[in-house]
């Protein structure tokens, strides 16, 4: 009435102005726009108002989608963190159980557990890798590896004749030069009639040792079983204790794995280097 549009007899003018008035009052968009009764000006104002309304609705929709996405992602991250924590606790429990099963004292096991690389444990947590000595070595810092290796090898090394009366520091040097190695099922570790180039301490798995037919006392070679805690190739130390080291000793036995085997291995080159450099000294009679 104030605009005087009611007095107009031009239908398009009345229609579009009424539409514009309704949009402006119902949507609250364009309330500050004051248009004349000119049809095209009114249509332009209608387009501007509807466009603003659509853009506003589009913005609100995107905000809702974003908030829902953030909430979903937050819930997923929380669930993932919870599962990761549970798996980490499970892995640590399995590692601790492995050490207890292998006779590691609780105090020493606790010290080794403190040397676990948490980021490495988390990186490998989804691999479902079996917890064995190889896996444990992969998640330990060097100091933790040394503690574990010394416990698994030192007492066994002292059972070797020429190492029994050797200074403990020298035995530790030998121990530190032993490297963890794994062997597959049915694999031959040592072959008869060939140079003996390794001495090893079995940590996991078992297999059989049997002589070659040439050196067997009977017609058929009698096989013996080796297992965790056994030492193979101790003849290498007897050879190293000699005054000359021209030729490596010859093995008279086959050593074959019957399962997957893990062992700490000392190579002949490393042992010879330690002897020549006098980092280890054998007591002679």
Q: What is the DSSP string of 125-174?
A: GGGT---SHHHHHHTB-HHHHHHHHHHHHHHHHTTSHHHHTS-HHHHHHH
Return the structure tokens found at 214: 């040439």
Contacts of 245 (CB under 8 A, 6+ apart): 239, 272, 275, 276
For residue 169, the model assigns a pLDDT of 93
Give me the residues paired with residue 257 across strands. 207
> Strand 198-204 vs strand 188-190: parallel, antiparallel, or unpaired?
unpaired
Contact assessment for residue 260 and residue 184, using Cβ atoms and an 8 Å cutoff: yes
The residue behind tokens 């989804």 is: 126
Domain residue spans in the chain?
Answer: 5-65, 178-276
Who contacts 59 (Cβ-Cβ below 8 Å, separation ≥6)? none
Q: What's the confidence (pLDDT) of residue 19?
A: 73
β-strands 224-226, 207-211 pairing: antiparallel
178-276: which CATH topology? Jelly Rolls (2.60.120)
Answering whether pTM is above 0.75, one says no
pLDDT by position in tens, the chain (length 285): 444 555 556 667 767 777 766 677 666 655 565 666 666 777 777 777 777 778 888 888 899 999 999 998 888 888 888 888 888 888 889 999 999 888 888 888 999 999 988 877 777 665 566 888 998 998 899 999 999 999 999 999 999 988 988 999 999 999 999 999 999 999 999 998 899 999 999 999 999 998 876 655 544 557 789 999 999 999 999 888 876 667 888 898 899 999 999 999 999 999 989 988 888 888 765
């Amino acid at each position: 009435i104030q605009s005087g549009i009611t007095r107009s007899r031009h239908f398009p003018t009345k229609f579009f102005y009424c539409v514009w008035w309704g949009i402006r009052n119902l949507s609250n968009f364009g309330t500050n726009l004051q248009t004349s009764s000119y049809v095209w000006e009114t249509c332009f104002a209608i387009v501007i108002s509807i466009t603003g309304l659509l853009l506003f609705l589009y913005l609100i929709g995107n905000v809702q989608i974003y908030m829902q996405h953030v909430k979903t992602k937050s819930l997923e991250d929380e669930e993932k963190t919870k599962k990761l924590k549970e798996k980490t606790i499970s892995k640590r429990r399995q590692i601790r159980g492995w050490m207890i099963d292998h006779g590691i004292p609780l105090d020493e096991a606790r010290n080794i557990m403190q040397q676990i690389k948490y980021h490495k444990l988390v990186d490998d947590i989804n691999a479902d890798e079996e917890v064995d000595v190889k896996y444990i070595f992969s998640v330990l810092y060097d100091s933790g590896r040394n503690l574990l290796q010394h416990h698994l090898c030192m007492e066994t090394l002292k059972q070797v004749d020429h190492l029994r009366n050797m200074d403990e520091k020298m035995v530790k040097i030998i121990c530190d030069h032993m490297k963890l190695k794994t062997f597959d099922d049915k694999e031959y570790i040592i072959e008869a009639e060939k140079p003996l180039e390794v001495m090893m301490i079995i940590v996991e798995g078992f297999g059989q040792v049997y002589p070659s037919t040439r050196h067997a006392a009977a017609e058929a070679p009698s096989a013996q079983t080796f297992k965790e805690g056994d030492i193979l190739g101790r003849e290498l130390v007897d050879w190293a204790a000699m005054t000359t080291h021209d030729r490596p000793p010859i093995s008279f036995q086959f050593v074959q794995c019957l399962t997957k085997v893990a062992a700490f291995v000392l190579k002949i080159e490393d042992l010879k280097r330690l002897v020549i450099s006098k980092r280890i000294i054998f007591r002679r009679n």
